[in-house]
């Protein structure tokens, strides 16, 4: 049986400062090597100060993943030399003196599959290496320490996944969950990264590192399973090793033999004492946990009668569910859910578009009111939405600017219907013998009015006029 386990690194992007100093956690807005200080550069004599908010945010993640939360935690030094690590060790966590990491064992259920969480660690991110030129012929490697020391949560799973598809599904669920908790913005470049370990029946465990995106992770795992099965079928031994994902060639390549924990010479970080986590703080964090995605979904279905599929899409994305929460009432909930999932999601489908979008809860409320009162058609609402997202103008302004108001004037509509009747004698004949085909004529009227005819009135008048 194929076994896949994951180590997911997730940046706590919503924090103010780094994990052990007051440099900004949002390193992305700085020029290279401007977001640094003696602490995150590991200069002699500097001492780390633990960011209390990071401990709280990581605890919330542990709680949401049903992990145990210990009453005291410890930090360790993981020693290794690499240019992106200015101290020559990373401050991280390890469960060698009992469960002293921020989260203990837990689990996440995907459908009927339970994925066990081994532990959750709070640790610092290293800096970033920037290669000049191609990766095979690097003449120069530059290093940017702005990211060094930013707060990272590592989520380690048991090897419970059996297919690359399951892995991808889990990562999507996890990324929605972290966004919903308000601890991270997974759409930021590099905010979520993962390593995978893969083994097939009778083979050794192979670790894959350096995978840049979830999409590539699925591919890398798929490639690795195929590679191992091919070796196995030819009676070639699969060795325990670390392999890197080469995203240009879309293959894994052997990089070095796998380090054991011993190689890192872990020892307690003497500059940070054991941290006692007050049960009162844990209780408070638990009580302030945002509503889970699954409970939101259930509420949308049971309270507003929103179809399960729509409720699923709406609840799993914080941006849209926040808009929905702000704009809906009991009477318009279904209409607003419909506008968001069928039209808005298509218009605002990337991070950049969301940031630029001018849509507000008031716009959504006005749109649904206008549809429900027959002032504009659904089709016109879609055109209005496009303009609103772009300009942020009031709906009334948009309706008059684009002339989107419904044609609900009876005589005006009757004239148009008469035109259609004379142009479509065959369809009229069919509609008389088979009333269901009348929709074709309604469609023609809609075409002539550019979708602005009041559909109910059109149907009533059509029926009368073809009799
Ligand atoms: Zn710093």
- Render pLDDT for 384-403 as a digit per residue (tens, 0 to 9): 999 999 999 999 888 888 77
Q: Token pair 């200080």 is at which residue? A: 37
- Residue 374: partners with Cβ closer than 8 Å, 6 or more residues away: 406, 408, 454, 456
Q: Report the pLDDT averaged over residues 302-310.
A: 95
| CA 210 to centroid of ligand 1, rounded, Å | 25
| CA 3 to centroid of ligand 1, rounded, Å | 40
- Burial of residue 280 (CB within 10 Å: 0-12, 13-18, 19+) is exposed
Q: Is the pLDDT of residue 258 over 60?
A: no
| CA 38 to centroid of ligand 1, rounded, Å | 6
289-295's contacts with Cβ under 8 Å and 24+ in sequence apart are 289/60, 289/63, 289/64, 289/181, 290/180, 290/181, 290/182, 292/64, 292/177, 292/180, 293/176, 293/177, 293/180
Q: Is the pLDDT of residue 17 over 70?
A: yes
- The band of 137, judged by pLDDT with boundaries at 50, 70 and 90, is low
- The band of 6, judged by pLDDT with boundaries at 50, 70 and 90, is very high
- The band of 67, judged by pLDDT with boundaries at 50, 70 and 90, is very high
Predicted pLDDT at 214: 84
Q: Is the pLDDT of residue 257 over 70?
A: no
| CA 284 to centroid of ligand 1, rounded, Å | 29
Predicted pLDDT at 24: 98
Q: Report the pLDDT averaged over residues 228-257.
A: 88
Total Cβ atoms within 10 A of residue 138: 11
Q: Is the pLDDT of residue 313 over 70?
A: yes
Q: HEC profile for 22-47?
A: CCECCHHHCCCCCCCCCCCCCCCCCC
Residue ranges of the alpha helices (H) in 248-344? Answer: 279-287, 293-304, 308-316, 318-327, 333-338
- The band of 175, judged by pLDDT with boundaries at 50, 70 and 90, is very high
| CA 42 to centroid of ligand 1, rounded, Å | 9
Predicted pLDDT at 139: 76
| CA 29 to centroid of ligand 1, rounded, Å | 15
Predicted pLDDT at 135: 58
Cα–Cα distances (Å) from 122 to 50, 153, 154, 165, in that order, read 11, 5, 6, 28
| CA 445 to centroid of ligand 1, rounded, Å | 66
Using one digit for the tens of pLDDT, what is the confidence trace for 217-242?
999 999 999 999 999 999 999 988 88
Q: Report the pLDDT averaged over residues 255-279.
A: 85
Q: Is the pLDDT of residue 454 over 80?
A: no
Predicted pLDDT at 408: 66
Average pLDDT, whole number, for the chain?
91
- The band of 460, judged by pLDDT with boundaries at 50, 70 and 90, is confident
Contact (CB, 8 A) for 79 and 121: no
Higher pLDDT, 210 or 112: 112
| CA 126 to centroid of ligand 1, rounded, Å | 12
| CA 20 to centroid of ligand 1, rounded, Å | 7
| CA 18 to centroid of ligand 1, rounded, Å | 7
| CA 145 to centroid of ligand 1, rounded, Å | 9
Q: In the chain, pLDDT over 70 holds for what percent of residues? A: 97
Contact (CB, 8 A) for 10 and 155: yes
Half-sphere exposure of 445 (CA within 13 A, CB side): 30
Please state which of the ranges 183-187, 249-253, 341-345, 455-459 shows the lowest mean pLDDT. Answer: 455-459
| CA 27 to centroid of ligand 1, rounded, Å | 11
* Cα torsion through 100, 105, 108, 112, rounded to 10: 170
| CA 278 to centroid of ligand 1, rounded, Å | 27
| CA 22 to centroid of ligand 1, rounded, Å | 6
| CA 10 to centroid of ligand 1, rounded, Å | 19
């Amino acid at each position: 049986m194929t076994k896949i386990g994951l180590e997911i690194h997730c940046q706590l992007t919503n924090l103010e400062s780094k994990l052990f100093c007051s440099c900004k956690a949002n390193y992305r807005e700085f020029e290279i090597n401007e977001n640094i200080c003696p602490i995150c550069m590991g200069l002699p004599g500097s001492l780390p100060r633990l960011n209390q908010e990071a401990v709280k945010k990581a605890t919330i993640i542990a709680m949401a993943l049903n992990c145990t939360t210990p009453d005291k935690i410890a930090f360790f030094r993981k020693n290794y030399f690499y240019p992106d690590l200015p101290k020559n060790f990373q401050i991280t966590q390890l469960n060698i003196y009992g469960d002293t990491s921020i989260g203990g064992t837990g689990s996440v259920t995907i459908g009927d599959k339970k994925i066990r969480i081994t532990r959750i660690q709070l640790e610092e991110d290293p800096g970033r290496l920037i290669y000049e030129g191609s990766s095979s012929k690097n003449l120069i490697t530059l290093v940017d320490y702005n990211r060094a020391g930013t707060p990272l949560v590592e989520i380690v799973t048991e090897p419970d996944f059996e297919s690359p598809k399951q892995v991808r599904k889990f990562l999507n669920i996890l990324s929605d969950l972290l966004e919903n908790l308000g601890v991270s913005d997974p759409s930021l470049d590099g905010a979520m990264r993962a390593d995978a370990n893969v083994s097939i029946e009778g083979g050794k465990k192979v670790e894959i590192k350096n995978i840049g995106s979830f999409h590539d992770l699925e591919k890398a795992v798929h490639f690795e399973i195929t590679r191992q099965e091919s070796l196995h079928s030819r009676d070639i031994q699969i060795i325990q090793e670390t392999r890197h994902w080469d995203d240009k060639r879309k293959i894994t390549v052997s990089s070095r033999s796998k380090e054991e924990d011993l190689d890192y010479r872990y020892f307690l970080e003497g500059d940070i004492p054991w941290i006692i986590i007050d049960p009162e703080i844990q209780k408070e964090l638990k009580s302030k946990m945002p509503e889970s995605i699954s409970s939101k979904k259930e509420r949308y279905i049971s309270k507003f009668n929103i179809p399960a599929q729509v409720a699923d899409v709406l609840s799993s994305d914080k941006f849209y569910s926040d808009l929905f929460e702000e704009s809906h009432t009991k009477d318009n909930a279904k209409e607003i859910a419909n506008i968001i999932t069928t039209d808005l999601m298509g218009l605002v489908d990337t991070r950049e578009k969301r940031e630029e979008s001018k849509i507000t809860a008031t716009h959504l409320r006005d749109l649904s009111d206008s549809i429900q009162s027959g002032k504009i058609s659904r089709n016109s609402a879609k055109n209005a939405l496009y303009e609103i997202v772009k300009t942020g103008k009031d709906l009334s302004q948009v309706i008059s600017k684009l002339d989107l108001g419904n044609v609900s004037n009876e005589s005006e509509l009757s004239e148009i219907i008469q035109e259609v009747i004379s142009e479509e004698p065959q369809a009229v004949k069919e509609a008389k013998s088979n009333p269901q085909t009348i929709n074709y004529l309604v469609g023609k009227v809609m075409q002539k009015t550019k979708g602005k005819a009041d559909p109910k009135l059109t149907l009533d008048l059509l029926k009368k006029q073809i009799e």
